[in-house]
């Protein structure tokens, strides 16, 4: 299991609504064909599903709708929506990690940095390694974060993601 999958599983465990069929949720309707869900509505006593599909460059390629049967809907594999910062913070809270994030995206923990022990409280401390561990606040998608941030989060959530 890779680091992104560890984090994703921990986030879904903390917030199962990630897998609900809602706006922005990815759905695999046919093997290998992934579309992003917009809405499911009832029109003239029929289900109408609206999706969009992205091209390889990530831009919306097409918006389409169709009338799926109830059986077709039951066979859709709901992959869920993208993981966001709020999902990660919920997973960290559920895992009893004493982590916070500054308004500029830097992860913090409450404890004594000299003893590396969050139980000996001395205040909020930035988490450093070779460089600060930060969340890019301009791009809220987990998959767009730095490799260092993803590795850090996966190490914190490895037991929650199993």
32-88: pLDDT as tens digits: 888 888 887 777 777 788 888 877 766 777 788 888 888 888 889 999 999 999 999
User: What is residue 109's predicted lDDT score, i.e. its pLDDT?
Assistant: 74
Average confidence (pLDDT) over 111-135:
59
Mean pLDDT is lowest, of 38-47, 100-109, 152-161, for: 38-47
pLDDT tens digits along 9-26: 999 999 999 999 888 899
The helix/strand/coil state of 47 is: strand
Q: What is the mean pLDDT of the chain?
A: 82
Quick one: pLDDT at residue 162?
57
Q: What is the bridge-based pairing of β-strands 107-110 and 99-101?
A: antiparallel
What pTM does this model have? Answer: 0.77
Rg (CA), the chain: 19
How far apart CA 61 and CA 78 sit, in angstroms, is 20
pLDDT over 70 percentage in the chain: 83
């Amino acid at each position: 299991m890779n680091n992104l999958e560890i984090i994703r599983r921990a986030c879904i465990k903390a917030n199962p609504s990630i897998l609900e069929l809602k706006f922005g949720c990815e759905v695999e309707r046919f093997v290998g064909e992934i579309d992003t869900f917009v809405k499911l509505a009832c029109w003239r006593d029929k289900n109408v599903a609206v999706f969009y599909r992205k091209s390889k460059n990530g831009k919306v390629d097409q918006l389409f709708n169709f009338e799926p049967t109830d059986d077709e809907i039951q066979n859709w594999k709901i992959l869920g929506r993208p993981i966001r910062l709020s999902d990660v913070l919920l997973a960290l809270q559920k895992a009893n990690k004493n982590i916070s994030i500054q308004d500029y995206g830097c992860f913090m923990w409450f404890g004594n940095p000299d003893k590396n022990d969050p139980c000996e409280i001395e205040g909020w401390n930035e988490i450093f390694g070779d460089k600060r561990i930060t969340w890019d606040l301009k791009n809220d998608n987990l998959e767009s974060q730095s490799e260092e941030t993803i590795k850090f989060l996966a190490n914190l959530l490895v037991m929650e993601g199993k």
